[in-house]
Chains A and B, each alone.
Chain A
Amino acid sequence: MAVDEFGVTIFTTVQSKFMLLKAIHQRLKEGLLCLPSNQTTKLFRTMKLTTLLILVACLQVSASTNAQVTISYTNVPIEKIFDAIADQTDYLLFYTDKVIKDAKPVTINVKNQPVETILQLALKDQPLIYQIRDKNIFIIRKPQSENNSKSSFNIDVSPYPVEDTTIDVRGRVINDKNEPVASATVIVKGTGIGTHTDNEGKFYLKSVPANAMLIISAVSIESKEIKVGGNRDLQNISVKTKISEEEVVTIVNTGYQKLPKERATGSFTFISEEQLDQRVAPDILSKLEGITNGLVFNKAAQGSDRIRIRGESTIFANADPLIIVDNFPYDGDISNINPNDVESITILKDAAAASIWGVQAGNGVIVITTKRGKINRPMKIELNVAHTISEKPNLFYRPNISTSDYIDFETFLFSKGYYDGRLSDPNLPAVSPVVEILNKRRTGLISAEDSMQQIDALRNNDYRHDFLKYVYRRASHQQYQLNLSGGSRNTAYYFSAGFDKNALPIYGTQNNRIVINTQASYQPIKKAELRLGLVYTEANNEEDGTSTSINNFYPYMKLVDESENALSVPQYREEFEDTISKYNYLDWKFRPLKDWKTSVNNSRIFDTRLLLAINYVIVKGLNVDISYQYNRSNTRQHYLIKKENYTIRNLMNRFAILDVEGNYKGSHYPAGGRLTVTNSDLIGHYGRGILNYNASWNNHALMAIAGFEVRETRRNSNGSTFYGFNEETGTFYSASADLYTSFPMYPRIGSTGTLAQQGAISFQSVYGGTMDRFRSYFANIAYRYLDRYIVSGSARLDGSNYFGVKANNRTVPLWSAGVKWEISKEDFLSAKYFSQLVFRVTYGYNGNLDKNSTAVATIQYNRVPSTLTGLPYAIVNNIPNPQLRWEKMSHFNVGIDFVTSNKRISGSVEYYLKKGNDLIGDKPIDPTTGVNQLRGNFSGMKAHGADIQISTVNIDKNFRWSTSFLFNYTNEKVTRFDLTYTGSDKFTLTAHKGGLPVVGKPLYALYSYRWAGLDPETGDPRIYLSDTIFKNTTSAVSSQFKLEDHIFNGRYNPPITGSVLNSLSWKNLTLALNIVYKLNYVFRRTSIEYTALRNDWKNGHGDYVLRWKKPGNETITNVPSFTYPINATRDTYYSNSDILVEKGDHIRLQFINVSYQFDEKVLKRSSISSLQVYFYANNLGLIWRRNDKEIDPDFPTRDYPTPTSYSFGIRCAL
C-alpha cells in the first residue's frame, strides 16, 4: 500500500479489492477526491456498484507495469476503451455512467501507445476530458466555459498538449499573522484537480495548466483566487483569516446550548480564556475574582461558599451557585478542576439565563467549559509552567496583648487567688509557667528574687517568632500543564496532563494534583458526531494530624531550647508531668515540634468523569443530542497517629490499668498507633436527551430546544478505626477496642488520689449514605424577526426524591421570558454613535431547595445504641410539614448593551429585581403541639441591584491602553420572617454566615448597643437604652434586650463591589493591573475582653494598654477599665457596642500581570510558534481603607490576611 498526494490509499494487490472499495467510498464521501464540485456528491451517489466491480476487476491484470496499450476497436462504446486501458495497464479509471452517457462510440486502432494517447484519441470530439493523477484516471465532463475557448486538452493542437501547457506548482498558504494555514483546499479552478495544504501550509500540485487559476479555501479563511501565471513556486500566499460570526461573537454556554451572546436575551457574564490566563491560581474559582461582573467574593470563606452571584437569594436553603462543568452539574470538589483545562466560563445571572437549570439555579449558575480540539486544525502543543511563592503569613497582624502585659495580668489574677481552684483541682489542669513560678514562690520553693528573675526572663518571649521560624513557611505552588490538540476533517482531539504541587504555609501541609484530560469528537458521517471525554483527577492532601490545640499555649511559649531541642508545653501540672514517670507511666509531655511530626492526616481523591455523547442531524435544522456522564469520585482519608504521638501516650496513660501501688501496668487503651480510615464515594449518573431545532426563513429565525434529563448522585461514606496500628507492618490490635465500657480516667497520683473522671474510649467509625435523584423536563425557545427583535421563553419541570417535598409538590414548574431589541440595527437610527445598541428585558423564576426540610416525619437511628440500655434508639429528626414546597424567586432583569461606533467604548448596564415570597423560613408554633417552630415556605426577601460593565480603549497606537470597569450593587431586604428574636446575642453576630432575618433589614445586618462612653468614676462601659444611659454590671440582663434596644449599623456584606482592570501594552509587552473595591459596609472589630483574656490569652487584645486607669481617662479612651472579679457583662456591653463598628470600605490592589510575548521572527527558526513569559503578583494589599485601625476589612477576625504571592510562568506553543 502507498499513499498518494490526495491521501488516497492505493491498493496494489488483488486481495485488497474489498478494501479498495471501501477506500474509494470513504475518500469520495470525505471529499478528499476532488471532482468538479457539482459532481462530487452525485458521483458518489450514482456510481454503480458494477462500475466499481469493473474497476476492481481491472486490478486483476493491473499488476503489470506496462503503460503501453494496444487497442483495436471499431464503433464501440467508450467504456470498452476504458476497460481495455484498465486491462492492460495498472491505471485505475474513475467515471460515472452519467458522465459518459453522452459519449459517442469510438473507433481506435493503435499499437503499444501510451495511455495518454489512447485517451486523447478516445475523447476527441467527446464532451469529456481526462485527468491523470498518478495511476488514477478521472474521466469528467468538459467544463462548459472551456468548450468555447481553446482547451488545453484539445488534441488538435498537439499530440501531447498537456505536457506542454501544464506545470507543477508548489506554494505555501499563510494567514494575516504569518501562521501557516493547514488543511486548506487548493483547487485548480474549473477542474477537479486539487489538494490540501499540509501542517506547514504547503501544497504541491502536479500538471496544472500554466495559466490556471487556483482557488484556496478553508473553514477559517476567506477564499482566495490566485493566478498561477506560469509560476512554479507561488511561495507564500497570504490569505485573510475569516472573521466568522463564531469568532467575533461571544458564544455563551448555558450548559444546554451554546448561542451567540447577541441572540440571548438573558444576563450573562462571559470570561474568556485570555482573561483567565491573566491569573495564576490552583483552582478555577480564584481566577474569577476581580474580573467577573456580578460575582461577589468573600475572601475569608472557603470553597464555593465564598462566591455569590448577585447577592443572596435564599435565607436557609443552600446559597451556593450551581457549578456546571462541561454541561453537567459538578458534584465533586471544585478544586479538582484543573484551571488550565478551562476554555471559558459563563455566569448565568438572571432567570432567563439560568431558568434552564430549574430549581438548582436559584443562586445563579457558573458554567465552566473546558478545552476541546477543533476540526481541521493542525496539532498544537502547549506548555504552561508557573511557579508561585507566597510571603510568610503576617502573624503580627492581630494586635495581641504583649507578653509582658499578659504576665502582669496573670500575676494580678494569681494574687487575687484566681488560679487557686486550678492549682488544687484533682484533674490537674495545666497552668502556665508563670503561674507555676508564682505558686512555687508562694509555697516557698523558690525565693521572691528567683521568681522575679525567672518571670522577667519570659517577658521578652513572643511565641510568634518561634512560630514563624518553625511552624510557618513561604507557601509555594508549582503548576505544569501540557496539552495537545488538533483535528482532522472529521475528528478533533484534546489531550492534557496537568500537575500541581502546593506547599501550604504551615509545615507538613501540602497537596498535589494530577489531572489527565482526554476529549475527542468524531464525525463518522456528516450528520452525526460522537463525543467522548475522560477526565481523571488524583489529588493528595497531607497535613499534620496532631489534634492537641494551640489554645493551651501562652504568649511566652518557646518551641525549642537553645540547642534546638523541642520543648514541652504543659497539658497537666508541671510537677505531675515531671514526676509521673516514676509510676511507670508513658512519657506524658507534649512537645509540639516533635509531636507534630508523628501524625499525618492524608486524604487522596480519585475522581473520574466519563462523557459519552452523540449528536445526530435528523433533518436539516433538527438534531438530537444525547449525552451521558458518569462521575465517580473516591476520597480516601488516612489519619494516622503514631504510637509516639502525644495523643496516644496521653490516652494510654488516661486509661491506665494500675497495680495496687498505683504503678502503671498497662492500659485499657490499645497500645500502638491509631489509624482512622475513611472512604467517601460519590457515584453520579447523568443522562440527557435534547432535541434542537433551528430554522430561518425570510426574516424569521427560530431556535428551540426541548429535552429531558435524569440525574442520580449517590454518596457513601464509611470509616473505621484501627487501634494498636503499626504503620511498618500494617498490623493492628486484632480484638477491637472496648468502646462501650466506661473506665476510670486518670490522672491521679499514686493509688490514693482522687478519681477525676469516667469515660469510654472514643468511637470513631462512621457509616452513611445519601442519594439525590432529579428528573426534569425543559424547553427553551427563541424567535428572531428581522435580526433585531428577539423573544425568548423557557420552562422547566423539576422533580426530586427529597423527602422534603410531598409527591404532588415534588415537581415544580419554573419559567422565564425575555425580549431583546437591537436598536442599532434599526434604519431610523443612524449608526453615528453606536455600532451596537441592544435593549433587553427578562422575567422569570428560579428555584431552590432545602434538603433538610421534610414533608413526612423521619427518624434517624443513633449510630450507637443507648449506653444505658444497650438498645438501638432513634430520634425524630424531622417534623412533617405537608405544605412544604420548593422555594421560588422571581427575577426581573433589564439591560442595555452598547458599543460605540468607533468601538472605543463598550459595555452593559443592567438592573435587576429579585423577589421571593415563599422562601424557606421559620415560623413559631404553639409549643403545646410538641413543635416549637416549623420550617417551611414562610419567609420572603426582596433584592435589587445593578451590574455595570464598561470597557474602554483609551489609546490605540503602538502603545495600547484599555480599561475595564466593573460595578456591582446589590441590596437585599427581608420582607417576611415570622420569628422574632429577643436577646442581644442574636443581634450582634459578626460571622459571615448565619444572617439573622429581621423584616425590613438586609439579611446580613449588623446591630449594636449605642455606646454611652465610659463611666468617669469607674471606667465601666455604658450604653444607651432608649436615650438613657444604662449601666448594669451585676446580672446578665442582656438576654432581655429587644431589637429596639440596638442600633442598626449597616450591612456586613458589601453592597457595592467592583473592580478596575487596566491593560497597557507596547509592542510585545503587556501589563495588566487589577484593583478591586468593596464599599458601604461595616464590620465589628475586636478589642479587649477581659473574660476572654482570662480564659485564653490568645483572645487578649492589644487594646489592653489603652484601658481606662484613672478618672479622666474616659476622655481619651473607650476601653473599659479592668476590674476584678472579672465581669462578663461589662465585656458584652463593650464588645457589642457601636464604638467597635468600623466602616469596611476599601480599595485593594488585587493583582498585576506583566507578560512578554516573544516576537515570531525570533522564534521562526525554532519549532516554537509562540512563547510568552509572565510575572504575576496577587493580593498586593490595600490601597485605601476607611478604617484607621490597620485592619484589613476582608479579614477582620482572622489571624492574618492572605499573604502576597508572586508567580513566574512560561506559556509556549509548538
Chain B
Amino acid sequence: MSMIRSIHYLIIFFALILIISSCKKNWLDAKPNISLQIPTTIADYMAILDKTEGNGVSFNNNQNGWHEAAAGDFWLPQKYLDARENWEIEIYTWQKDKFYSDLTGNFSNWTYPYERIFYCNIVLEGIEKIRPSSSGDELDWNQVKGAALFFRAYNHYDIAQMFCKPYDKSNATKELGIPLRLEADFNIPSHRSTVEETYQQIITDLKKAAEVLPIATPINNIYKYRPTKVAANAMLARVFLSMEDYENALFYSEKALQQYDYLIDLNNPDEVKQDDQVYSTFPQIQDNKEILFVNTLLNSQIYTYNRIAIDSNLYNSYDDNDHRKLSFFRKLPSSSGAPENSYYFRGTYAGQNSTKFSGLATNELYLIRAECLARLGDIDKALETLNALLVKRWNTGTYVPYTDSNPENVLRIILTERRKELLLRGLRWSDLRRLNKDPRFAVTLERYVNNERHTLPPNDPRYVFPIPYNVIELTGMEQNPRTP
C-alpha cells in the first residue's frame, strides 16, 4: 500500500516541480543571449552613441564624402580613373543623365546618415522614458540627449549639402529640402520637407544640444568623440555660414572660440610630435589640440590620398615658406602617369594618412569668424583673426601678416586661405554651392576623362545630387533634376 502512496507522492512531486519551474510569470521573458540586451539604462543609450568604430555605422567616421570627388580640388590620372567604377566616374564628371548607374544597393551617402539618425531617434525616444534619479544621472542624461540631437542635426546637415538646394533666404520655403526623420518608427513614410524646414530643424536640434551638452574641453580625448557645447556651437557656426547668415555664424563662431580657441603651432615640435616614420603634419587625434569633434570622410577609391593630383594652381598658391606646402603634399610617382610635378595630398588633419578628417576644429572657426567679420565690414578684426591662424602655419619668422583695406580683397584673401587651410575636409562642396551665388567668387569646374572635357558651371542643378533611385521608387518622393 505504501508503495502506491509513495508513487503517488513521487508523481505529484514531479508534476509540482514541472509546474512551478515553468509557470512562473515571465518565465519566457528571460534573456536569450547574455550579450544581447534591450536598452533600458542611460548607460545603454550612451553606449549606442559612443560607437566610434567597428562594424556598421559609427558616429565618428564615414561621413558623406562623395561630393569631395565632385568639388574640383583634385583630379585623377587616367590610369587610376580606368580602375574606377562607373558610378564614381559619373560623380567625378558631373554626369547629367547617368547616375549611380552600376551602384548596387549601397547608397551609403544616403543610408549611413539616415541610419545614424534612426539610432538617434531610438535614443531620443528611449531616453525620454528614463528619469534621471541623481545629479550624476542628470549629467549623463543630458549628455545622451544632447549628443543624440547633435548627431541628428549633424547628419541631416550632411545630407542637405548633397541632396537639396543650398539655402537661399529668398526661396527657402519653396524649394524642396530633404526628408527629415524625427521618429524612430520606420512605418512613418518619408517625404521631403522644404529647405527652410530642413535648416530650421538642424538649427533647433543644435541649439537644444548646445543647451544640454556639457562644457568639456576637447583636450580630453573622450570629448573629441562625444559632442560638447563647444562642438554644438561650432556646428551652428558652420550651418549658419552655409546659409549665408553671417551674423549668426559670427555669433556662434565667437561663442565657440570663447570656450576654446587653441591653435597648434606647426613649428613647435612638441605639438607636432610624430613618429618620424608616420608622414603626417598634424599630430594624432588624441594629441591634436585643435580638434573639437572627430569625424572622417567615408573612404572611397576616387579620392584615395596617393592617387589624386591636387589642382596645380591650388598647389602653387602655397608659399614656399608655408609649412603646409611641404607637409600637405607629396609628389605623385611617375608610375601614376600624371605629369611631372603633380602632387597628391597627404596631410590629413587626423594624423593618419588613410583617413580624411571632416569634423570640427578651431582652425575652421577662425576662418568662419574672419569671413563673417569681413563680410560684416570689420576688416581689421577679420585680418587679425586670419593672421592669428596663419602665423602658426608658416615657418617661424617668415610669415608677413596680411594688411589690406579693400573689403573685397580681404574677403578674397580669406576665402583663398579658407580653401587652402580646409583642403579635403569635406567642406569645399558646400562652399562652392554658397560662393557660386556671388559672381565675384563663382567658378566653373572642369575635368578631363579620356581627353573628354567635362564642366560644371556655377549654380548648375548638378550641384544637387540625385536621390537614390530605390528611395524614389519606394517612397514616390520628388527627384532632384539634373538639367536646368
Contact = CB atoms under 8 A, between A and B. Distances in A.
Q: Do A and B come together as binding partners? A: yes
Interface of A: 524-525, 527-528, 614, 616, 624, 626, 628, 685, 687-689, 708, 710, 716, 744, 754-755, 767-773, 775, 799-803, 810, 851, 856-862, 866-879, 924-932, 934, 982-983, 1034-1037, 1039-1040
B106 to A, nearest CB: 9
Interface in B214-241: 221-222, 225-226
Contact of A755 (B101, B102, B277): B277
Shortest 5 CB-CB contacts between residues of A and residues of B? A930-B118, A929-B186, A769-B34, A710-B22, A874-B47
Interface string B110-147: 11001111110110000000000000000000000000
A772 B32 contact: yes
B85 interface: yes
Contacts of B184: 930
21 contacts: A626-B15, A687-B14, A689-B18, A710-B22, A801-B29, A857-B38, A868-B60, A871-B52, A873-B51, A874-B50, A876-B48, A879-B186, A926-B186, A926-B189, A928-B114, A928-B190, A930-B114, A930-B119, A930-B184, A931-B118, A932-B115
A932 B56 CA distance: 13
B400 interface: no
B35 A1039 contact: no
Given A708-B18, A859-B48, A871-B222, A803 B38 contact: yes
Interface in B25-82: 27-39, 44, 47-48, 50-56, 60, 82
Contact of B52 (A525, A873, A1036): A873
A1101 to B, nearest CB: 26
A626 B14 contact: yes
Given A800-B28, A870-B222, A710 B104 contact: no
Given A858-B38, A860-B35, A874-B47, A866 B181 contact: no
B37 A859 contact: yes
A931 B186 CA distance: 7
A99 to B, nearest CB: 24
B275 interface: yes
B110 A928 contact: yes
Interface string B454-484: 0000000000000010110011000000000
A689 B44 contact: no
B28 to A, nearest CB: 5
B21 interface: yes
A31 B8 CA distance: 24
Given A810-B28, A868-B52, A876 B122 contact: yes
B86 interface: yes
Nearest to A1036: B85
B11 interface: yes
Contacts of A982: 104-105
B65 to A, nearest CB: 18
Contact of B17 (A687, A773, A860, A934): A687
Contact of A872 (B29, B47, B85, B114): B47
Interface residues of B, number: 75
A856 B27 CA distance: 18
Contact of B474 (A710, A802, A924, A1037): A924
Contacts of B277: 744, 754-755
A399 to B, nearest CB: 32
Contacts of B52: 866, 868-869, 871, 873
A924 B275 CA distance: 48
B431 to A, nearest CB: 26
Contact of A927 (B17, B36, B37, B107): B107
A774 to B, nearest CB: 8
A755 B11 contact: no
Contact of A775 (B8, B28, B119): B28
B11 A525 contact: no
B115 A930 contact: yes
A924 B472 CA distance: 13
B55 to A, nearest CB: 7
Contacts of B116: 930
Given A803-B38, A857-B38, A927 B14 contact: no
B32 A929 contact: no
A524 B32 contact: no
B47 A859 contact: yes
Given A624-B11, A876-B119, A1036-B102, 4 more contacts: A524-B3, A616-B11, A810-B28, A930-B115
Contacts of B474: 924-926
A689 B15 CA distance: 7
A1037 B115 contact: no
Contacts of A624: 11
B18 A687 contact: yes
A1037 B110 contact: no
A869 B221 contact: yes
Nearest to A805: B28
B197 to A, nearest CB: 15
A877 B47 CA distance: 13
Contacts of A926: 186, 189-190, 471, 474-475
Nearest to A748: B277
B3 A866 contact: no
Nearest to B14: A626
B10 to A, nearest CB: 6
A931 B116 CA distance: 10
Given A928-B110, A930-B117, A874 B38 contact: no
Interface in B363-422: none
Contacts of B117: 930
B27 A869 contact: no
Contact of B179 (A687, A689, A928, A1034): A928
B114 A525 contact: no
B32 A771 contact: yes
Contacts of A928: 110, 114, 179, 181, 190, 471, 475
A799 B32 CA distance: 13
B225 A868 contact: yes
Contacts of B37: 858-861
B285 interface: yes
